[in-house]
Structure 1
Amino acid sequence: MKTFIVVLVSSIVLTMFGVFADLPQETEVPASVSNGICSSQSECGVGQCCLETFNTDMALVTCSPLAEAGAPCSNHTERADSYKGHCPCKEGLECLNGFCPSLPEPVPVE
């Protein structure tokens, strides 16, 4: 089983190198990697969270967009550096019962 995990992780790393090898090189280090792999919240940009998701038997931790109004959300982290399942709501929204509340319709001013 350990050999399988080592081979799987190695394959993923080599695939990532292959994908990013063709991208133009930047002169400055970006503040975050959009939808890139992260290990802590500080590696993600504004409007993103470091989110741990599960695909069958493999966990993937990536910078993902904050939850929009009406979307599932989470404010709970088991580890201080990533969220599990869903990101928290965008600024101005509060996660209630696992969802970002929908914004009320604007009322015309007369």
Structure 2
Amino acid sequence: VLVSSLVLTTFGVFADSDQQPDATDSVPNGICSKGSECGPNQCCRESFESDMAVVACAPLGEFGQPCSNPKTDDEPYATHCPCKADLVCVSGTCSTPKPVAVE
């Protein structure tokens, strides 16, 4: 009963058009169709939840997290976002850049 009441209350809040958030050009953590629609330090990424594909803004990879290599187009990433600016994607994992030997 409590769960049903909570679901109905939540639905009622969002069903009221006066309480829905306004649409903006940037949709951080929201549904996207291209990377330029996401906020800073995010990418547009396709993921699968149950039997459904979801394309939404997701955070760029942190050290040790799975990653994709950066792309030049604005299409969504298939599985993982690229790494944050100070990291590189090596063998599918965000890593620190290797130091350059100084002679």
Indicate the TM-score class for this superposition, using the shorter chain for normalisation: 0.5 to 0.7
Give, in whole Å, the separation in 1 of the partners of 2:42 and 2:94: 15
Q: Is residue 31 of structure 2 the alignment partner of residue 40 of structure 1?
A: no
Give, in whole Å, the separation in 2 of the partners of 1:20 and 1:87: 34
Give TM-score, length-normalised by structure 1. Answer: 0.63
Unaligned regions of 5+ residues in structure 1, if any? 1-14, 105-110
* Deviation at residue 56 of structure 1 after TM alignment: 2.5
More strand by share: 2
Moved over 3 A (4+): 18-21
Unaligned regions of 5+ residues in structure 2, if any? 1-10, 99-103
Identity %: 48
Letter paired with 1:65: P
CA contact (8 A) 1:31 1:45 kept: no
Name the Cα RMSD after superposition: 2.9
Letter paired with 1:83: Y
Aligned length: 84
1:20-77: per-residue Cα shift (whole Å, max 9, x none)?
A: 943455xxx6452121000001101110000000112210000110000111101266
Find the partner of 2:83 among 67, 89, 93.
Answer: 89
